Structure 1
């Protein structure tokens, strides 16, 4: 992950000279990794859905048409505040604004993620493909289950909370 973040942090403006590109990808990837959000719910986040004062994002109509609020870690909140101060929205309502007042396309994010994987020298899977961007959501879930174990607790007891956090119905 460190190598992927390093490569994302080196992205420059895109071919359309879109000045936000160097800020968008590192922030989106950190949100996937740090909160376990899905690509569709992340790119559709609007400015009003991201409360950086309290460190909470609100996802509307995500998996199973459930809306939910997610707390951000202090470090991710700090990072997103820095991102927010740099990005130029020019009237765009999306937290991760694309050109023409639109949100980023999930396909664009996926394609860039694959390029970052190659730049970071992440090996292909036995299937001949790179891990998917959605695998960052799974990585978040695994890390979340490891935390109770590190504190001597039963991770099984945290499953209902994690399931709710990630938008799964019990």
Structure 2
């Protein structure tokens, strides 16, 4: 088998057996394709079954010239996963990544917005256009429910359980969770759905998709990024933000207002509480305030 055959088999494994999302599978595949490109450029003819640790080390050294430590660590992690899969399938008996260490990286704290900044961004939306009503509903839902960008663009009308006060969200690995929805967020969704969406020429296959573009199809992730970037420029925000910034802000503001980590973990759909704990480190001023307010020897 050549590299492409192994990679396709690995992609099927990631998607079907591990239940990873399409985007995650694409990222894993990109790193392997990059390795294949390196082998071709250097006229190295070797199969995944026979490639040595030295050759992979040479590849990592080569790409490290243009990548930061975090990106290098991601590539190393992806390659370890691939060769572990080959061992699992009995294509290899050893993992050539075993002695290759990833660079040490600090935990990156996510950017957040203040409540005032979120209000300013939403207030900057042009509500005289049909797209404006849609954009307001999307941003209110992003912040109000802490959704990922892939979750908001794939949200279905059949996922709206307004009578029960929840949205059904399909997250990473097709794992489903129910997220509470505030009355204000519900109001903006219904306003868009009942006054704007009903007049759109809905494309076949998108009848149940909630947020649609002008052609009646689901929005792309890139389009949502563009909408948010343009709003940031419009209000001269001075921060590099993305849809994920709203999710980070949702979690941070809940924590600052007294929500417990376990509840935030469930709403965000984090598999591990360790992932959620990053928000504890976001606001040192808030943590100082906690000590001064609640510690028995605060005086």
User: What TM-score do the two structures reach when normalised by structure 1?
Assistant: 0.79
* Mapped pair 1:88 → 2:190: no
User: What TM-score do the two structures reach when normalised by structure 2?
Assistant: 0.47
* Mapped pair 1:165 → 2:249: no
Q: Does the 8 A contact of 1:96 with 1:104 survive in 2?
A: yes
For 1:133 and 1:39, how far apart are their aligned partners in 2?
6
Match of 1:75 in 2: 184
For 1:83 and 1:52, how far apart are their aligned partners in 2?
15
1:33 shift after superposition: 1.0
Match of 1:34 in 2: 144
1:58-91: CA deviation from partner (whole Å, max 9, x where unpaired): 112x124311111101222222222222122444
For 1:100 and 1:3, how far apart are their aligned partners in 2?
29
For 2:177 and 2:168, how far apart are their aligned partners in 1?
6
Cα RMSD (Å)? 1.8
Match of 2:120 in 1: 3
1:120 shift after superposition: 1.2
Gaps of 5+ in 2: 1-117, 273-299
| Structure ranking higher in helix proportion | 2
Query: Alignment partner for residue 167 of structure 2, among 57, 65, 74?
Result: 57
For 1:84 and 1:42, how far apart are their aligned partners in 2?
14
For 1:55 and 1:94, how far apart are their aligned partners in 2?
19
* Mapped pair 1:144 → 2:254: yes
Q: Does the 8 A contact of 1:56 with 1:72 survive in 2?
A: yes
Q: Which moved more, 1:110-119 or 1:89-98?
A: 89-98
1:99 shift after superposition: 3.7
Q: 1:84 to 1:53 in 2, by over 3 A?
A: farther
Q: For 1:103, what is the secondary structure of its paired residue?
A: coil
Structure with higher RCO (Cα < 8 A, 6+ apart): 1
1:137 shift after superposition: 0.4
Q: Does the 8 A contact of 2:146 with 2:267 survive in 1?
A: no
For 2:214 and 2:119, how far apart are their aligned partners in 1?
28
Gaps of 5+ in 1: 14-19, 125-129, 149-154
